[in-house]
Structure 1
Amino acid sequence: MSEGRPACECIICRDYGDRGRLGNFQLRTIVHISQYGWSMVLVPPVGDGPGWAYTVGLWHSLRSPELAMFGGDVYEMEEILNALGRQAGREGPPADGERRDDVVRGRPAAFRGVDPGWHERAFHGAMAFYRGRPLPFLQVVWPDENGLYPWQPGTELPFRRSQPWLWLSPRQHPEGVWTHRLTAPA
């Protein structure tokens, strides 16, 4: 561990004698992180719920918060998160409450810290990689075509539903904002 860098307890950094029992998802994740610095999990939309994408390995490689996006095309979100990961490596990671310009289709994005109550529900792959240890996660949230973020008055209900408010605890989450399933496949 480098001076001043928090410890990483992931399946790469700590061997608890279980590496021989890792599944295909975890093995693929290790290969991607070894090659690229992080991996991606894409969760396609089901029914009228949004799909989402999130990183696994930014914390391991850069000590950057893992990033997640909801409500867009999963492959477009993958491209955006990869660009943000490269940017974190060059310029430093985004911070909770920060806004950056020209992130999503020429629009800005806001970064909001994800409440830990959502980690296992929405980011099971990351939690398995980090052995269930707490880690920082930021949600990348973008505004509608009028420049309004989902929490601002005047946004359409379908737009608000496409981006859950994971900076709030599951108990505080507004009813009807995210009607999608709460558990992502591993």
Structure 2
Amino acid sequence: MERGDDQRTKEDIGKYGCSVMHVFDADGDLPSFAYSIGIQQETGAPEAFVIGLKRPMAHSVINEYNRRTREGERFEIGKYYAGFLGGFEVCIGAVPRSTYDEYFGQNIDFYDGREFDVVQIIYPTTKGVWPWAPDASEAFIQGQPILAKQG
């Protein structure tokens, strides 16, 4: 993490309980994603990750997770939860550590050797189709890769 990023991350964590990192592919070939930094340090709950949503929506989902964990709510792997995306539920999955180097570089730097956990917040299409459903489109599946184990 560069010095300016490190300072801003610390300020965000102090003010909001986490910082949100948004990552995108400038060529547009890969889906953008966002993840939290600091939630586990502040609340003991895992960090949050969402992929395939535009920046404002991705940040909203991460911030809602942060708000709820700060209020003491804990999310179970494989369970469905309302209140993140309008009238749609989301599913929580455990992200395997084997993906951390590829996706969570800022968290690796922030935690500096300390272990941390990450959950993926998985969402359906606007028609309620989940990415693991047989009728999920290939475009939807490619746009929201599932790193997580659902249970």
Q: TM-score if structure 1 supplies the norm length?
A: 0.74
In terms of fraction of residues, the more strand-rich structure is 2
Q: Find the residue that maps to 1:41 and give its secondary structure.
A: strand
Which residues in structure 2 correspond to 1:13-28 (within 5 Å)?
Answer: 23-28=3-8
**Aligned partner of 1:84 among 65, 69, 81:** 65
Letter in 2 for 1:54: Y
Larger Rg: 1
Q: Which runs of 5+ in 2 are unaligned?
A: none
Aligned with residue 164 of structure 1, among 139, 145, 151: 145
Matched, 1:62 2:43: yes
**What is the CA-CA distance between 1:149 and the residue it aligns to?**
1.2
Residue type at the aligned position of 1:43: V
User: What is the letter of the counterpart of residue 7 of structure 2?
Assistant: L
Partner of 1:75: 56
Give matches, 1:1-186, under 5 Å.
Answer: 23-46=3-26, 47-167=28-148
Match in the other structure for 1:173: none
TM-score between the two structures when normalised by the length of structure 2: 0.90
Structure 1 spans left out of the alignment, 5+ residues = 1-20, 169-186
CA distance in 2, matches of 1:57, 1:155: 33
Aligned counterparts of 2:72 and 2:11: Cα–Cα separation in 1: 25
Amino acid at match of 1:41: M
Superposition deviation, residue 92 in structure 1: 1.6
Q: CA RMSD in A?
A: 1.7
Which letter maps to 1:59? Q
- Tell me if structure 2 keeps the 8 A contact 1:45–1:52: no
Counterpart residue identity of residue 72, structure 1 = L
Say if 2:37 and 2:106, in contact at 8 Å, map to a contact too. yes
Structure 1 segments of 4+ aligned residues over 6 angstroms from their partners: none
What percentage of residue pairs aligned between the two structures are identical?
A: 24
State how far apart, in whole Å, the 2-side matches of 1:56 and 1:95 are: 20
| Deviation for aligned residue 1:45 | 4.1
Partner SS for 2:89 = strand
Partner deviation per Cα, 1:94-121 (whole Å, 9 max, x = no partner): 1211210232232110000000011121
AA in 2 matched with 1:61: E
